[in-house]
Chains A and B, each alone.
Chain A
Amino acid sequence: DAGVTQSPTHLIKTRGQHVTLRCSPISGHKSVSWYQQVLGQGPQFIFQYYEKEERGRGNFPDRFSARQFPNYSSELNVNALLLGDSALYLCASSSLVETQYFGPGTRLLVL
C-alpha cells in the first residue's frame, strides 16, 4: 500500500520567490494536514483540511495558504519566501479522528 507521498523531495528557492508543495494522502484518507519542521525542532502545525474544507490553521502568516482537491490531494503555497521559511515541510493524512500518518517531507532551502 502506498503511503503519503510528497513532491518535490527537495527544493531550492531565493528570497521573495513563491513555492508550491504537493501531497497525496493514503488512499481512503480524507484529511490532510501540513506541518513545518525547522532543523532540530518538532513539527509545527500549519493547516488542516478535511473534505476540501479548512478545519484549522496554525500561527503562520498569510503568506502561507493551502487547498485540497476533490481527490483529497493537497497543495501548500508559500509566497514572498523568507530565509526563515527554510525547513522540512511535512504532510500528514488520516481517516480516523486522531491517527496521522506522515509523508517523507519536502526539504525547502531559501537562499
Chain B
Amino acid sequence: QQQVKQSPQSLIVQKGGISIINCAYENTAFDYFPWYQQFPGKGPALLIAIRPDVSEKKEGRFTISFNKSAKQFSLHIMDSQPGDSATYFCAASRKGNEKLTFGTGTRLTIIP
C-alpha cells in the first residue's frame, strides 16, 4: 500500500521559473512532512519540513504548502537554478515515530 503519492514523476523547468511538486497522503496519523533532495550517488539531504499546524513554511527559495483537509502538500522552488536539478522526495511520519514513508520521487531538470 502506497501511503504517500508523489507527482509528477519528472519535471523540466526553465531557469528562473517555479518548480512545483505535489504529494498526497492517506494516513491521517502522519504528523511530520519533510522534503529530501537527492543527487546521483548521494544520500537524501533534508531540504525543508512542515508540521500540519501551519499551512505554509518558507526557507529561502523553497516553500512547503500544506492542506490538511485535502491531505496534500507541495514543494515550490522559486527562481529555479541548474544546481537544483536533482531527485526530490516527499515523506511523512507519525508523531513520535521516526519511520519515514517516502513518495516515489520527482526527477527535476532545470534547463538554461
Q: Which chain A residues have a beta carbon within 8 Å of chain B's beta carbons?
A: 4, 31, 33, 35, 40-45, 48, 55-56, 58, 90, 92, 94, 97-105
A-B contact pairs, 25 of them (CB 8 A): A4-B43, A31-B98, A40-B105, A41-B105, A42-B6, A42-B89, A42-B104, A43-B44, A43-B100, A45-B99, A45-B100, A45-B101, A48-B98, A55-B98, A58-B99, A92-B100, A94-B98, A97-B98, A98-B31, A98-B98, A100-B46, A100-B98, A102-B46, A104-B42, A105-B42
Among A55, A90, A98, point to the contact of B32 (Cβ < 8 A).
Answer: A98
Which B residues are CB-close (under 8 A) to A100?
34, 46, 98, 100
Among A42, A94, A102, point to the contact of B45 (Cβ < 8 A).
Answer: A102
Least CB separation from A40: chain B residue: B105
The answer to whether A33 touches B45, judged by C-beta atoms less than 8 angstroms apart, is no
Among B45, B89, B99, B103, point to the contact of A56 (Cβ < 8 A).
Answer: B99
Q: B102 near A: Cβ within 8 Å?
A: yes
Report how far A10 CA is from B6 CA in the complex, Å. 29
Report how far A8 CA is from B103 CA in the complex, Å. 27
Range of interface residues on B (Cβ < 8 Å):
20 to 34
How many whole Å from A58's CB to the nearest CB in chain B? Answer: 7
The answer to whether A33 touches B98, judged by C-beta atoms less than 8 angstroms apart, is yes
Which A residues are CB-close (under 8 A) to B96?
97
The answer to whether A103 touches B43, judged by C-beta atoms less than 8 angstroms apart, is yes
Report how far A31 CA is from B89 CA in the complex, Å. 22
Q: B22 near A: Cβ within 8 Å?
A: no
The answer to whether B102 touches A42, judged by C-beta atoms less than 8 angstroms apart, is yes
Least CB separation from B32: chain A residue: A98
How many whole Å from B103's CB to the nearest CB in chain A? Answer: 6
Among B44, B101, B104, point to the contact of A102 (Cβ < 8 A).
Answer: B44
